[in-house]
Structure 1
Amino acid sequence: MSAPVSHPAPTSSSRGPRTVTFPVPSPRGPQTVTLAYTRVGSGEPLLLLHGIGHHRQAWDPVIDILAVERDVIAVDLPGFGESPALTDGLVHDLSTMNAALGALCQALEIERPHVAGNSLGGLLALELGREKLVRSVTALSPAGFWSPIERRYAFGVLQAMRQTAIRMPLPVVERLSRTPAGRAVLTSTIYARPGRRSPEAVVAETLALANAAGFAETLRAGTAVQFTDDIPGLPVTVAWGMRDRLLVRRQGVRAKYVIPRARLVRLPGCGHVPMNDDPALVARVILDGSR
């Protein structure tokens, strides 16, 4: 097995993206995976995982707060953001994501980090917790606790958002991003307070959704997903935005039944991606869950 190769992407900023390349086992033998990530702060390691169609910059509103107490690694999942899609020998399913994220931690020499994830990232965080690959889990509106009707609704909304992002000309996206009302048109499905998102961030995440090479296969793999396992012996926090319009908040109650020892936290005034709606609250929930 070849050694991982890590190198910073060309940038003058210490916050600029880095990439790491490493092998992941597959039925066809080891396959190479490359992931982009940002790493800041000091302390115990904390891995941040975004949702489907998003990118690591979803965590920008909270990353400075977290970095005061944690060595924070925000990663672009395979096929999203600046990370290329998986090779033909790998599929975008939960077992492959577990293997890839476990190999990422080995490549970065991180032993059992804390992990926080949102939506798809929350589901992946719980999976890592189930496999005992992390020391604590904070899942923000995680996927996998839906009913069949709720899943079909969420997937339909996500597909509509992606088609809109693909078809909308960039000048239109830029024009809409300049006003709070326009940012609401583009992002109110995931944010309860879309006006708080900067124009530059809205443009960037619209492009990230349009260009997400792993979107279709990841969504397809999710049709059979239901999280049904307890996670004993590990601190688990499940937090849900009270104004989540994508994965409705009653799914948090289901999560509590599945993981009875989990701390269930309600996030007032927050939507599906709560980091932007209330950064201080979300950062506090993550830090409390990882102490």
Structure 2
Amino acid sequence: MSATVTLTVPSPRGPRSLPLSYARVGTGEPLLLLHGIGHHRQAWDPVVDILAAERDVIAVDLPGCGDSPALPDDFAHDLPTMNTVLGALCEALELERPHVAGNSLGGLLALSLGREKLVRSVTALAPAGFWSPVERRYAFGVLVAMRQAARNMPLPVVERLSRSAAGRAMLTSTIYARPGRRSPEAVVAETLALARAEGFSETLRTGTAVQFTEDIPGLPVTVAWGTRDRILVRRQGVRAKYVIPHARLVRLPDCGHVPMNDDPALVARVILDGSR
């Protein structure tokens, strides 16, 4: 069920309150799910029920996304800040070193939590941070274009397009290899989430300096990449394997950048295997 927790997070101006929205379902060891930039926790809906059969699943709206408000003005949109925020979330929800799975930006955040030993295992689906300069500029250009399109498109047009498979492909084929599988309601909701994501621009600006270059010893790590990823090309998975030599590198056939929708059973199995 959807809920909101208010965190107390340190800042240059002293402790600040930060509400975060999340949904929690299932039983077992805790598993924290982190979505990508401009998305929302419902990106995980195709796999949540499968995961909840074995895990206590917590899907969170990151700050400035979904139903969570943006970070206060004096907060940096960087990895140390997000480690602090997500660490405070785990403390508030009494999650003792949960497993974590993340997609895109969420994958980078998951790896950062693993580097700080705040979690017990990491599964990163097409994580950011393993790009070349050219690949980063390309990815950011695609993301900015998607954001502008979402903000400029009237809601009645989005709703009309979402009713057909061709329209859903027009709206979401950049992130999904099989956009026709996404429901019309989900496509409308995530288009609005992208248009309204308050933390989008600042997160993207901070991301220009991000490069993940450190190993994560002593922790199970899985990195998985869709073969049809149109935003972060799959050769970045090979770079991730060089940076984290003991990581399990998994190929996701016929999956796009957000693979949970394209093959829920495969993605759920990868996450569960990585957290065992």
- Shared fold, TM over 0.5: yes
State the aligned residue count.
276
What amino acid sits opposite 1:127 in the alignment?
S
Residues 1:117 and 2:141 aligned together: no
| 2:91 match | 106
Report the equivalent of 2:147.
162
Partner of 2:121: 136
Are 1:243 and 2:221 matched, yes or no?
no
Amino acid of the structure 2 residue aligned with 1:268: P
- Residue 278 of structure 1 and its aligned partner are, at CA, apart by 0.0
Distance 1:255 1:241 in 2: 14
The answer for the alignment partner of 2:253 in structure 1 is 268
- Give SS of 2:218's match: coil
**Residue in 2 aligned with 1:290?**
275
- Distance in 2, Cα, partners of 1:158 & 1:89: 25
Q: What residue is the counterpart of 1:4 in the other structure?
A: none
Q: Residue 75 of structure 1 aligns with which residue?
A: 60
Kindly state the Cα deviation for residue 28 of structure 1 after the two structures are TM-superposed: 2.1
Contact 1:113 1:134 in 2 (8 A): yes
TM superposition shift of 1:62: 0.1
Match of 1:50 among 29, 35, 38: 35
Are residue 181 (structure 1) and residue 163 (structure 2) matched? no
Measured in 2, the distance between the counterparts of 1:204 and 1:198 equals 10
Q: Partners in 2 of 1:98 and 1:131 — Cα distance?
A: 8
- Equivalents in 2 of 1:22, 1:241: separation in Å? 34
The CA deviation at 1:172 is 0.3
Gaps of 5+ in 2: none
Residues 2-21 of structure 1: pairs in structure 2 closer than 5 A? 15=1, 17-21=2-6
2: CA distance, partners of 1:168 / 1:176: 11
Q: CA deviation at 1:257?
A: 0.1
After TM superposition, the runs of 4+ consecutive aligned structure 1 residues lying more than 4 A away are none
Structure 1: 5+ residue stretches without partners: 1-14
Q: Secondary structure at the match of 2:8?
A: strand
Deviation, structure 1 residue 179: 0.5
Q: Deviations over 1:164-221 (max 9, x none)?
A: 0000000000000000100000000000000000000000000000000010111111
C-alpha displacement at 1:91, in angstroms? 1.9
Q: Note if contact 1:243-1:271 (Cα within 8 Å) is conserved in structure 2.
A: yes
Aligned Cα root-mean-square deviation (Å): 0.5
Q: What is the CA–CA distance in structure 1 between the aligned matches of 2:73 and 2:195, rounded to whole Å?
A: 21
- The equivalent of 2:8 in structure 1 is 23
- Distance, in Å, in 2 between the alignment partners of 1:159 and 1:247 is 14
Give the C-alpha shift of residue 29 in structure 1. Answer: 1.5
The SS at the match of 1:138 is strand
1:218-253 CA distances to partner (integer Å, 9 max, x unpaired)?
Answer: 111100000000000000000000000000000000
Shift of 1:93: 1.1
What is the one-letter code of the residue matched to 1:103? A
**Paired amino acid for 1:36:** S
Listed one character per residue, the Cα deviations across residues 85-141 of structure 1 (whole Å, up to 9, x for unaligned) are 011221211111010000000000110000000000000000000000000000000
- Residue 214 (structure 1) aligns with: 199
In 2, Cα distance between the equivalents of 1:249 and 1:28?
Answer: 41
Q: In structure 2, how many angstroms separate the alpha carbons of the residues matched to 1:126 and 1:251? A: 15
Q: Measure how far apart 1:27 and its partner are.
A: 2.3
